A = this chain, B = another copy of it.
Amino acid sequence: MKKPLILVTNDDGITAPGIRSLVEVAKKFGEVVVVAPDSPQSGMGHAVTLTKPLRLHKTDIFEGVDSYECSGTPVDCVKIAVDKVLHRKPDLCLSGVNHGSNSSINIIYSGTMSAAVEAALEGIPSIGFSLCDFSYEADFSVAQYAAEQIVKQVLHYGLANNTLLNVNVPKVSKEELKGIRICRQAMAKWEEEFDERQDPHGRHYFWLTGKFVNNDKGEDTDEWALANNFISVVPVQYDLTAHHGINYINQNWDL
């Protein structure tokens, strides 16, 4: 059997330790090509670059692996990888390992997860990985264990049609880890708070900060799994239609 072609990308940038840890795992399963941003792209969501051209340069930072850095967003990286680097759809796309959680509503802001979503909507089996530890020096060994287990399952048993996976790994040791849970996304949100300051010229500016608020106490959520030392695996879809919303309008509106 031919080895699968695996595209690896992320949003922290091609030099982040997280992507290196994921490339190491991917190499066990197939031929790996990296196309990742040349600068940090956290919080870029599903942004694409429309008003300026993109640059793409070959690098040599991964031993034995073709790798390219791109000036665009994580979604741009997936698009340009398919069209200009691989010249075909890869058999699998892995995004991450993100430095920091992408559980619950964080998926919607995450460049890491948006790259995985983009791959999925192009028909590529796809998984995003995140470690609940923002540190540059984070220990990625449990994340690597998670990636190895889950990539094996996806390559062997597949995923439901039009879905991908959002995998989050708690900041625990292998001994503390309880296992892997298949979950739904917790219905939590950020309550924004802007930090207001003055620059040296007396002009106001604002930093986005916020408080993560989770009122969803379900034990079938990713937040519950992570808080209880499980790896959370959320199957994700990209049809945003609210079918119950269609029923609501048909029953209540007077158009």
Contacts and interface: CB of A to CB of B under 8 A. Distances in A.
A175 to B, nearest CB: 19
Contacts of A193: 83
Contact of A249 (B156, B196, B235): B235
A237 B245 contact: yes
Nearest to A50: B43
A234 to B, nearest CB: 6
A248 interface: yes
B83 A192 contact: yes
B46 A46 contact: yes
A16 interface: no
Nearest to A72: B208
A114 B159 CA distance: 27
B108 A206 contact: no
A56 B206 contact: yes
User: Copy number in this complex?
Assistant: 2
A252 interface: yes
Contacts of A136: none
Most buried by B among A44, A117, A208: A208
A50 B255 CA distance: 42
Interface stretch (A2-10, A17-25, A91-99, A177-185): A177-185
A182 B205 CA distance: 42
A233 interface: yes
Interface stretch (A26-34, A59-67, A73-81, A137-145): A73-81
A51 B207 CA distance: 9
Contacts of A185: 239-241
Contact of A47 (B44, B205, B238): B44
A49 interface: yes
Given A48-B208, A182-B249, 10 more contacts: A50-B208, A55-B205, A84-B206, A149-B255, A163-B244, A180-B255, A187-B239, A233-B249, A236-B241, A238-B240
A122 interface: yes
Contacts of A114: 45-46
